[in-house]
A = this chain, B = another copy of it.
């Protein structure tokens, strides 16, 4: 998992590869980039990944409906003799047809047209700028969470995610009740906590076709929701985010006086 959707932590795939190699372990390295592809820098070949799985519905600016596999020679070889049950498509027919510019089955044509436009948009902005934009939004979001007196689930800066931020609810407060309050009052749907984190965290997404004002609308909605839901917090999170987005903190605006 390049970006762990449920926790808002990004794994350092390059380091994992190095660890596997250092241990001389033959394991294949498979990476899920669903919530990072197009939002956080990722390098299938350079990092020596064997299988990369991506999707259309987040960083690629499209509705859900397309999934992508990047597969190493080593993985293709392994798949030929694999006996484990699998629940997704087999690669060979797809790769065979693709080599002639075809699909073995009718593809989701409309989404493919959309993909062409989406990739064009990403390149117009420049991938480095896209990644930097998401990183800025993530930093502004963390500063808001901190100002609210809440806790970012991912506690290792080395693993901060550019595409989403998971926030821990204070003890004794339901994340899902809070999410419901936000949905009803502000028509904004926050991510829920998964499995063990169910009802304990809410997730703020800041990926894809997203700009500074959308982020401020989002963070303002979270802050207003905290108030309405009676969750203990300190006002000022949205303001803290503004300070990060606009440059260098409150001092800056004072300087303007």
Contacts of A247 in B (CB 8 A): 227
Question: A217 near B213 (CB under 8 angstroms)?
Answer: yes
Contact yes or no, A213 B233, CB < 8 A: no
Interface residues on A, range: 35 or more
Cβ contacts A181-192/B at 8 Å (1 or 0 each) = 000011110000
Q: Which residues of A approach B to under 8 Å, CB–CB?
A: 34, 55, 57, 63-65, 85-90, 92-93, 104, 106-111, 149, 185-188, 211-214, 216-218, 220-221, 223-224, 226-228, 230-236, 238-239, 242-243, 245-247, 250, 252-254, 256-257
Query: In the complex, which residues of chain B have a beta carbon less than 8 angstroms from the beta carbon of A221?
Result: 212-213, 216
Q: Can you show 20 pairs from A to B with CB atoms below 8 A apart? A: A63-B108, A63-B109, A63-B110, A64-B106, A64-B108, A86-B90, A87-B93, A87-B104, A88-B89, A149-B257, A186-B212, A212-B221, A213-B217, A216-B221, A217-B220, A220-B238, A233-B257, A235-B239, A235-B243, A238-B238
Question: Does B111 contact A65, Cβ atoms closer than 8 Å?
Answer: yes
Are the C-beta atoms of A242 and B238 separated by less than 8 Å?
Answer: yes
Residues of chain B contacted by A106 (CB below 8 angstroms): 34, 55, 57, 64
Q: How far is the CA of A149 from the CA of B230 in the complex (A)?
A: 31
Contact A109 B64 (CB under 8 A): yes
Assuming the contacts A64-B107, A216-B220, A216-B221, asked whether A257 and B232 have C-beta atoms less than 8 A apart, the reply is yes
CA distance A31 to B253 in the complex (A): 42
Complex alpha-carbon distance, A93 and B86, angstroms: 11
Residue of B nearest to A188 (CB): B213
